Amino acid sequence: MLCDCGKFVKVVSISCVAAGLVSFGCEKKQEAPAAPQQKEVPAVVETAPAVSAQEPKVLETTPAVQTNVSAEIPAEPAPAEEKPEVIEATPLLPRELAVDLAETSPEPAKQEAETKELAQKATEQAQVEEWFLQGVNYYSGKGVEKDRAKAVEYFQKAAEKGHAQALFNLGVCSVLGAGCDRDMAKAVEYFKKSADGGNMEAAFNLAIHYGKGEGVEKDMAKSAEYMRMAADADIPEAAYHLAVMYATGDGVERNESESFKLFKKVAEWGYPNAQANLGTYYLKGIGTDANPAEAEKWLLKAAEQGSVSAQFNLGVFYAKGAGGTTNLVEAYKWSSLAAERGDLQAESNRDIILGDMTPKQIAEGVRAVSDFTFKKFKELRDEGIIEINPDALQPLSVEAEDKTKEKVDLKNILPTEFHPVLENPLEPQKARDMQD
């Protein structure tokens, strides 16, 4: 009986334990849905941090595990709707491995090679520039004893590396025979290479050589082509020569409008010959509408700079009253100044004008000529171009009026005086001198 009771107790105990376990499981199943309403989380459970809906969800820590549950009984997983969304980060390489991969990457090696190449090019360019400057120094005697032959040597070193200015200077030396033999064909060769390198001074000189047929067969079309290149680079001499080419139709189709535009461009740069031609264009309506006021303006600018053609045309302008009013004093002044420079037609006009002047006008005219002459001498002296002794200046004398002289019709002595391209041209080395 006792044994039976013992067995009963044992059975009851086991049953109670089993019932307790079942009861525990049921309680857990019943409590799980109510978890979201709990305001406080048991201290023994760590929850993942809340993640904003607008921001990417990144797992920063390992999800916490309940520590109050026996290892033998796995914890119930949270409901699916409450599971935090986890984005697994790309695993990082170990730091040592990442460094090794960077060191063995071909990109740094390529960059290093490019850097070395750029440094080498910079060094070579510096060396070429140094050769060129040494050539300039020896050519001019700046800081060293002047030695044209040595200058040519340095220019050649730089030229072999494609230095455009060195090539230009070699061309000039070949034209002058400075430091080397005078060789026009070689000069043309150097100028071509320099022009191909972007030196438009060389293009202008090439235009001169093609126009004159020096060192190359004469070719006015080719001359005009290079002249246009130089003119587009705003080289005044080139723009002036091209204007003359368009005026005469030499090397290009005649175009008075284009000629006018180019003369105006150069005139605005202050070149007297262009100003003289522009004044005549305005006077006669060539390439533009006739405008006596503009004609007078530009003729005066040129005449005051010493343009003989402008002085001659101004004399006629005032004698004829082309601007609306005759002015014999001004006509005498400008005709006299042109005559003193050797213009025989101006001398003839001056004498004719003199015959129509009153004694007072003659005195005013002589004074105007004297004042202008002295002013120009003073300007030259102030600029250090000449030295003069004012006391040595002789007063101008006026010839007695000769009534027997036949008067000339002034209507036909107002020519457009062009300076045709390559007629008394500036030599290439003078127009575009040694570059430094």
pLDDT score of 270 = 94
Residue 275 falls inside a structural domain: no
- Provide the residue-wise pLDDT of the chain in tens; the chain has 436 residues: 444 444 444 444 444 444 444 444 444 444 444 444 444 444 433 444 443 444 443 334 444 434 343 444 345 555 555 555 555 544 444 444 444 444 555 676 677 667 766 777 787 788 999 999 999 999 999 899 999 999 999 999 999 999 999 999 999 999 999 999 999 999 999 999 999 999 999 999 999 999 999 999 999 999 999 999 999 999 999 999 999 999 999 999 999 999 999 999 999 999 999 999 999 999 999 999 999 999 999 999 999 999 999 999 999 999 999 999 999 999 999 999 999 999 999 999 999 999 999 999 999 999 999 999 988 877 776 776 655 454 544 433 333 333 333 333 332 333 333 333 333 333 443 345 556 6
Residue 404 falls inside a structural domain: yes
pLDDT score of 17 = 42
Structure tokens that stand for 226 in this block: 């290079």
Burial code (b: 16+ CB inside 10 Å, e: under 16) for 286-298 equals bbbeeeeebbbeb
d(CA 150, CA 53) in angstroms, rounded, equals 81
Residue 144 falls inside a structural domain: no
d(CA 246, CA 21) in angstroms, rounded, equals 116
- CB hemisphere CA count around 128 (13 angstroms): 16
pLDDT score of 84 = 56
pLDDT score of 375 = 86
Residue 18 Cα distances to 21, 23, 32, 76, angstroms: 5, 8, 21, 19
Determine the Cα angle at 389 with ends 388 and 393, to 5°: 100
**Domain carrying residue 341:** 308-420
d(CA 303, CA 311) in angstroms, rounded, equals 5
Position of tokens 């080289």? 235
How many CB atoms within 10 Å of residue 201?
Answer: 25
Residue 37 falls inside a structural domain: no
Residue 370 falls inside a structural domain: yes
Provide the Cα torsion 304, 385, 241, 175; round to 10°.
Answer: 170
Residue 164 falls inside a structural domain: no
pLDDT score of 66 = 42
d(CA 192, CA 167) in angstroms, rounded, equals 9
pTM: 0.63
- CB hemisphere CA count around 341 (13 angstroms): 16
Count of structural domains within the chain: 1
Residue 125 falls inside a structural domain: no
d(CA 331, CA 337) in angstroms, rounded, equals 10
d(CA 51, CA 110) in angstroms, rounded, equals 44
pLDDT score of 82 = 55
pLDDT score of 285 = 94
Name residues whose C-beta falls within 8 Å of residue 342's C-beta, 6 or more positions apart in sequence: 308
Residue 393 falls inside a structural domain: yes
